[in-house]
Amino acid sequence: MNKETPALEKTIIILILIAVSAFSIYIGRYLFTFINEPETFRDWIASFGVYSPLAYITVTILQIMIPLIPGEPMEMIAGYAFGSFKGTMLCILAESLGSFVVLFLVRRYGKRIVEIFFEKEKIDSLSFLRSSDKRILLFAVIFIMPGTPKDLLCYFAGLTDIETAVLIPLISLGRFPSIITSTLAGDHLGDQRYILAMIYIFAAGLLSMIGILIYHHIQKKRDL
């Protein structure tokens, strides 16, 4: 049994790496299309017909599991393709499902699977979220701030002793500020209301800068 487990883990790691490569090639083409030909991208999403929301949810779950592409472009795509309200709902659903899968995998296979995507130093920089008596509050505060490394935080969450039933609502609600600004920007881009879109993009960027500063302050304070 002990001999089979490492072999199974190696197989899973190889499959994940293959998925990373395939996903990067596949979705990378369409993200490039979104930037250069947004109407063409919207048509591609619409080509799935009634299954277009399912197609978006599937791709977003993969994005959460394979954190090579930032989440903000995917959120903006949702607003562009489905409108701000429906896009926001799809984002929350998809990112919650993706986070649940990530938590399950990390709790099953441990730190090894986290180290596939993140350097050891970055993982260790969040060690205070495991040892602090206020780890749930700290995790909630850090996760809700735009600009913080949510993919890393999501993977690291699986290494803590915080219950999954607590983490999923925290992660889902914590993504909301980023989701709403991105989907609104995407929606306005789709309607060619470029000034409003730029306002939301600027607001998202400003909030992200503030979030990053607060995040580094918390890290520095906890390292002292």
pLDDT tens sequence across 94-104: 988 998 889 98
In the predicted model, what is the mean pLDDT of residues 189-216?
81
Q: To the nearest whole number, what is the mean pLDDT of the chain?
A: 79
In the predicted model, what is the mean pLDDT of residues 204-219?
80
Cα-to-chain-centroid distance, residue 180: 14
Spatial neighbors of 139 by CB under 8 A, at least 6 apart, are 129, 153, 157, 160, 162, 167, 170
Query: Has residue 162 got a pLDDT over 50?
Result: yes
Q: How far apart (Å, rounded) are the C-alpha atoms in residues 185 and 7?
A: 46
In the predicted model, what is the mean pLDDT of residues 145-157?
87
- pLDDT band at 85, cuts 50/70/90? very high
pLDDT at residue 27, rounded to an integer: 60
Query: Has residue 28 got a pLDDT over 50?
Result: yes
Contact, 155 vs 106, CB < 8 A? yes
Q: How far apart (Å, rounded) are the C-alpha atoms in residues 210 and 224?
A: 22
In the predicted model, what is the mean pLDDT of residues 187-197?
81
